Structures are given as C-alpha cells and as structure tokens.
Amino acid sequence: MTLDKFRDELGFLSKAGEIADRIRSIIDKGFSFMIICHNDADGLAAGAICSTMLLRENARFTTRAVRGPDEALKNLRELPERCVPILVDMGSGYLAEVSEAVKDRQAIILDHHEPMGQASENILQLNPHLYGINGAEEISGAGVVYLVAKALNEENVKLSPIAVVGALGDLQDRGDGRRLHGLNELIVKDAVENDLLRIEEDLLLYGRSYKPLHVALASTMNPFIVGISGNEANAYSLLTEIGIKIKEDDRWRVLAELSEEEKKQLYNGILKHLASLGLPPSIARELIGCVYELVREEPWTYLRDAREFASLLNACGKTGNEWLGLAIGMGSRGDLLEEAQRVLEEYRRRMAEAIEYAMREENRQELKNLIVIDGGNVIDDRLVSSVASMLSSMNVQGEDKILLALAQSEDSIKISARSPRRLVDRGLNLGKLLARAAQLVGGRGGGHDIAAGANIPKTRKALFLLELDRIIEEELPRLKS
C-alpha cells in the first residue's frame, strides 16, 4: 500500500501526533482523564488501548464503558474538576451535544463515526472522515486510538493486535478474501513486523489449529451459521452427515489437519446446510479468507484468533462484564481470562437462541424497503446489535432492503439497522437516514453508512418504521444506478 493512495492520510497521521503532544502536556500539568468508550468489541478494544497508553505514562485516569450516547453525555456532565474526557469509538456523531455537555473544558474525541454537527474549539477531534478516509471500513475506533498511542510512545506498537481485534469486531474485513484494508493495513503491518500477528488463508472457523472440529464449527460466530453456531451437538451431527472423520484414534481432529479435499467437503456440507434453511450461498464467501492469528497468545485460548478475541470482548460488553473485556484488552490473563471465556460460552448460547427467535416468520415484518425483526421483550436489547450484524452476515435482508432489529429496553426501543453492501456502494448512508427518522419521533440515531442504530420512545415504533420507510423511498432515486 502506498501512502498517497488516500486523500490526506499524512494529515490524519500528523493530527494523531498533535493530539499525542496535547495528551502529554495535559499529563504534565497534573490533570486526570476520564476515558469513555462504547461497550462493543471495538469500543472496549479502543478503551483498553487508551487505558494502557495512559498507564504507561503514569497518568491518572478512570475508564467507563457505556451503552450509548445518553450515558456518555451524562458522564460528561458530571466530570470531576481538572479531569479531561477522552471519548473513544464515540462522540463524533453528536458533536453539538458533546460541546454543550463539556462547556468550556478541554475534551478529546478519537472516533471513526461520521462527524455530525460542529465541535466547539475546546474539543480536539481525530476522525478519519475529516481526511477523506472512510471510517466505516478503513480504520476502527481502536485503530484511531492506536495511532495516537503510537505517536505518544513507540512502545505502544505492542498494542497493534488489539487495534486489529477492534477492526475485526466492527466487521471491517471487507477487502478481498475478508482482508482488512485501508489504514488498517498500516496497523496490521506494525503487528506482523513485530512478530505479534500472522495471517493465513483458510476456512474461517474459530480455533482452527487447536479446537476439536465440531467445537470449532459451533464456536464460529462470524459468519453465524444458523443451527450450528452455539450448538456443539448439531455441529457434531453435521460433520458426521458430511462424512468427515472427527477423531483420529482417540484424538479429536482439528481443522488445520484436514486435507484440501476434506476442507472442500466441509465447505460444501455447510453450503448444503444453509441451502436447506433457504439461506443464500453468498454467505459461503464469508467462510473463506484471512485468518488473523495473534501468535503471542496461548494456542488453546479464545484470544489466539483475532475474530474470536473480538467475539469475547463483545460478549463481555453485552452482558454487563465490560470491566472484564477492558482488563483482557489491557493484558490480564489467568483467572480473568477463564471467566471471560465462560462469559463468551454463555453469550454464544444466548445468541443462538436469539437468532433462532429472529429467524421465525412470525417475528418478521416486511415493509417496502425494510425487513423488521422485532425482538420485543424476548431479545435482550444489549444483544440486538449483534443479532442485526449476524442476520445481515446471512444476507437476510437480500439486495435491496434494510434490515432492522428491534428490542425493548427499560425506557426506550433500541434499533439496529444494517444495509446491503450494494446500496452503500450506490451512495446510501444509513447513519444519516436513521438520525433523521429518529429525530422525527423524538429519538436519537446515527452510525456508519452500512451499520447504524437508534433509540426511540417506546410509543413511537409504528411511526418510526413508517417514517424510515418513507425516507428510504425518497432516497432511492437519488442513489447512483
């Protein structure tokens, strides 16, 4: 990759350096920091990188993982004296509100969401979109923080694998063969050159070199294989049906020791399974590609495969165990890792149930431009984002419709929306549309071109769906053909 491939990549990198200098001077003046991060995989990876960066400089800080903008703004309004907030993997989507909440204090935003509104002068913002770099695909929140951390102290190059985990958590592996691309390539390069990461092409089952085949198959969540992901017994039956030997004498076989012929057989068997459920073969493309292996992690842990590491962070964030995800991201292992692995196991089972519910016809509603999956009170509102991502990875929405997954939280309805690639390539920006529709019903929305979300008042669901459907209908003729 050449640097001049981007419009102003150098400008972006030098801004990262400028922000690192500012952080150093804030530390020197004796201020403390409050890191506020999103509670998904990329958010926790970003929070962990930022925390490790400050720890290395002996700075004083606290870290809070939050569910969304409202909680972030509340923390900003209640900041202690002489404390500088650093918003990571969030903040750019609602600049006016952040400005209002921090008043004339200094604040730092390290984000990859498309900036909306104007930031006041006391806010320092590093965001790829301001340099013509697509934050939805080319760099994640964790990647943005990583570049600042590296500019602050070269030692932080050791955190590059966590930035890779963040990017995979945000599903940025959209290059050919599920490769990370854009600025993410710079980060991957840091990790590979420092012997922290190895990349290979293979079937993308989690734990391909150490998990028994059926366990690897059942552990795989990206792509999500309905009926198999989260269900070892079904995975075992599928392998037996396909006719793949699961044991060699008394020893479980692993994916890495399968012959090319057997891998093809396995791949075709999964395809057949998907077809039997009426799912399109396009998901198969998602099953082959680059494996990102963190070579310094013990081979038998869930951290060895960067995609599974991301699933683990996500599971921690979405089950009230944010602190555990942050600790693992910052390097804790031992008992904490065992606990996090248990959290992931439980999360897999709950996700399998949620997906099974979401796939039932009676829970699905179709509007002109929307496929709506209503999780009501059954799907935990903290799981709805992952449900949407997984259904979308199964192409449930087809080529022309937007997928929405809904669930009720205590005081509002949480909505996660995903667009087919084809509409994004034609210029659709889901984040902007969700922001508009949510605002019309007194809610708040935003996000990326391909993945966005909203929170709306409980009584406004029907109106919101109609408005969003109408807004998309208006937008379609404006898209490139």
Residues in contact with ligand C5P by the rule CB under 6 A: 38, 40, 42-43, 68-69, 89, 93, 113, 141, 170-171, 385, 388-389, 392, 416, 418, 444-448, 450-455
Of the candidates 424, 425, 407, the one whose C-alpha atom is nearest the C-alpha of residue 416 is 407
Between 37 and 238, CB nearer to Zn ion: 37
- Restricting to residues 88-107, name those near Zn ion by CB under 5 A: 89
Of Zn ion, ligand C5P, none, which one does residue 47 interact with (CB within 5 to 8 Å by kind)?
Answer: none
Binds 171, which of Zn ion, ligand C5P, none (CB < 5 to 8 A, cut-off by type)?
A: ligand C5P
CA 392 to each of CA 188, 280, 307, 387: distance values in angstroms, whole numbers, following the listed order: 26, 12, 17, 8
> Can residue 447 be called a binding residue for Zn ion (CB under 5 A)?
no
Q: How far apart are CB 365 and Zn ion at their closest, in Å?
A: 29
Map residue 52 onto helix, strand or coil: helix
- Residues 224 and 241: their CA atoms lie apart, in Å, by 20
Using the minimum distance from each CB to Zn ion, give the nearer residue, 141 or 207.
141
Q: Which is nearer to ligand C5P, 54 or 423 (CB)?
A: 423
Cα 243 from Cα 247, distance rounded (Å): 12
Provide the minimum distance between the beta carbon of 71 and Zn ion in the complex, in angstroms, as a whole number. 16
Minimum Å gap between C-beta 271 and Zn ion is: 31
Helices (H) and strands (E) counted in the chain, each on its own, are 17, 15
Residue whose CB is less far from ligand C5P, 223 or 453? 453
42 touching Zn ion, by CB under 5 A:
yes
170 binds Zn ion (CB under 5 A): yes
Q: Is residue 190 part of the contact set for Zn ion (CB under 5 A)? A: no
Q: Which amino acid is at 473?
A: E
CB of 261 to Zn ion, least distance (A): 39
Q: Which is nearer to ligand C5P, 316 or 450 (CB)?
A: 450
The dihedral formed by the CA atoms of 226, 229, 232 and 237, expressed in degrees to the nearest 10:
40
Task: Indicate which of ligand C5P, Zn ion, none lies near residue 85 (CB less than 5 to 8 Å, by partner kind).
Answer: none
**Identity of the residue, 42 or 322, whose beta carbon is nearer to Zn ion in the bound complex:** 42
On whether the CB atoms of residues 308 and 211 are closer than 8 A, the answer is no
Could you tell me the smallest distance in angstroms from the CB atom of residue 91 to ligand C5P? 10
Q: Which residues contact 21 (CB under 8 A, 6 or more apart)?
A: none
Token pair 């292996």 is at which residue? 293
Cα first-last separation, the chain: 30
CB 225, min distance to ligand C5P, A = 17
Q: Which does 448 bind (CB under 5 to 8 A by kind): ligand C5P, Zn ion, none?
A: ligand C5P
52 vs 140, beta carbon nearer Zn ion: 140
DSSP at 305: B
- Give 456's DSSP letter: E
- In angstroms, the CA 100 to CA 237 distance is 57
Of 170 and 293, which has the nearer Cβ to ligand C5P?
A: 170
Residue 137 binds Zn ion, judged by CB under 5 A? no
Rounded distance, CA 64 to CA 36, Å?
5
Burial of 364: CB neighbours in 10 Å, binned 0-12, 13-18, 19+: middle
Q: With contacts defined by CB under 5 A, how many residues of the chain interact with Zn ion?
A: 5
Nearest distance, CB of residue 96 and ligand C5P, angstroms? 14
Q: Which does 418 bind (CB under 5 to 8 A by kind): Zn ion, ligand C5P, none?
A: ligand C5P
DSSP secondary structure letters along 57-77? TT--EEEEEESSHHHHHHHHH
Note the residues at the interface with Zn ion (CB under 5 A): 42, 89, 140-141, 170
